[in-house]
Amino acid sequence: MARIKDRKLGDEYLTVKSRFGNIRGFVSKDYPNVAQFLGIPFAEAPTGLRRWLPPVPKASVDHLDATEFGPSCPQWFDGPPSIYNSDVTDFRIDDPMSEDCLSLSIWVPKKAASGPSASKLPVIVWITGGAFLVGGSTVPYQNPTPWVETSQRHIVVSINYRLTIFGFPNAAGLAPQERNLGLLDQRLGLEWVHKHISSFGGDPSRLTHFGQSAGARSVDVHSFQYPDNPLVWNQIMDSGCALPALPVPNVENNYFSFIAQKLGFEGGSPTAELEFMRQQPAEKLLDFIKTHAASKEKPVLSFRPIVDNFTIFADFEERAKAGNFSKLPAIIGTLDDEGNALAPYNPEGVDEDIARRITTNYFLKSAVTMSRCRSAYAPTFRFLFKDPAPAGTSSFPNISPRPWMRVYHSSELPLIFGTHSWFRGPSTVLEEKISKAWQELYVVFAEEGPDGLRRLGWEESSKGRGIVIGSGTRGWESVDISELDGDL
């Protein structure tokens, strides 16, 4: 199927009047019940002297054409073979890329965007994953148009944020609270949604924060940074949470300085170093990182969040045990074969021992620990996604084109967003059933909170229950929590 960001003959256009300005969106003839407003800037461009500074709210505008996605943050995909760059490239962004990337996109039922309504819809605010190195709103598999078309009961917003060296520079010339800029971008985008979403038919009192992988970690981190002002009423964390600690502290700030020196900085104060680096084109910075990575020379550069005790804390588990977070109802879940995408790639099959250790030690243990801490203070719901097919085969051949892939890290997203049939052939009956069931669980949670899940039969983990998605007559079934926790 053609990627639906492309305009087509027969598309409609409509304008929403908001306090931010008159925003022009469109309705694709392929999805005639969804109004799309793409690439809305929520912050001033973080370029020039604003590079590596906290985001500044975008001033209101008179008119804005929001019919095309805004650019994603500069990023690169080259590297060793993997599921994502060898078999299933639909988790990667579409072009373009630019430092001027701080925008958000909104998908809303056409009827809700067409005029004032007494009843406002719940909103799912989506934070993309990608290890804080890649990602953005243009990822094809994460386009929520089919989901909103089917539901007609909720709105989805996707927020772009700065990545890699642009979002997490860890430069000595910056104050500690300025070093995890991508997380500050996410918060400012959320504030924009809270302020303006009612103009699009959304209910600002029913925002659900939803993230996967690094996006899920981000959602969890925000609940610790803003315990008394979360702006959302629910959280969904797929394949990630604030645990475990990220393995890239780099407290000496030498990654940033290493690049500066290699690009010609002759020495001086941290402020002078920062000024020099702000003068370098974004493409030059990214090209250096790519070339250095390919050389396999040390140091191994990695620009991801660091402990700053402002956005990222060193003691998340202790804080969770003490209840030092926003205490919101939460869904926390993992996939049974997460590590199949992250173990060394072999097209003939993954090393199952390595893959299982990644699944258990990085994803499952963290989810179990965090959910146990959270459940003492707030309703917490656990899920495990499993492929019901026999080992060595796949129930999802278009999402997992090699049978050994099964339900690898991120493979649930096409099912949740409804894009599973976009690439590599039609979906199976089972895929359709699981997708509709999963979508309904999340929409009901966004609409009604914990009461909605309980009404459907999903009991919280404090009662010793969870669900397995991928089995049962409804596409999921309630099980004893021990079936999710294993031996942990």
* Residues catalogued as catalytic: 213, 338, 409
Q: What is the distance between the alpha carbons of residues 248 and 242, in angstroms, rounded to a whole number?
A: 14
By the 8 A CB rule, do 365 and 398 touch? no
Q: What is the CA radius of gyration of the chain?
A: 22
Q: How many residues does the chain have?
A: 488
Q: Give me 318's structure tokens.
A: 């202790």
The H or E element spanning position 145 is helix 145-151
List the beta bridge partners of residue 237.
Answer: 211, 332
What is the end-to-end Cα distance of the chain in Å, rounded? 43
Q: Strands 21-27, 63-65: parallel, antiparallel or unpaired by DSSP? A: parallel
* Strand, coil or helix: 290: helix
By the 8 A CB rule, do 82 and 215 touch? no
Q: What is the distance between the alpha carbons of residues 48 and 263, in angstroms, rounded to a whole number?
A: 18
What are the backbone angles phi and psi of residue 14, rounded to the nearest 5°?
-150, 155
With 0-12 / 13-18 / 19 or more C-beta atoms within 10 angstroms meaning exposed / middle / buried, residue 341 is: buried
Q: Give me 460's structure tokens.
A: 């919280």
By the 8 A CB rule, do 107 and 156 touch? yes
Indicate the residue type of 282.
Answer: A
What are the backbone angles phi and psi of residue 235, rounded to the nearest 5°?
-135, 145
Q: Residue 406 gets which letter from DSSP? A: S
- Nearest CA to 385 among 234, 218, 238, 212? 238
* Strand, coil or helix: 212: strand
- Nearest CA to 189 among 20, 43, 39? 43
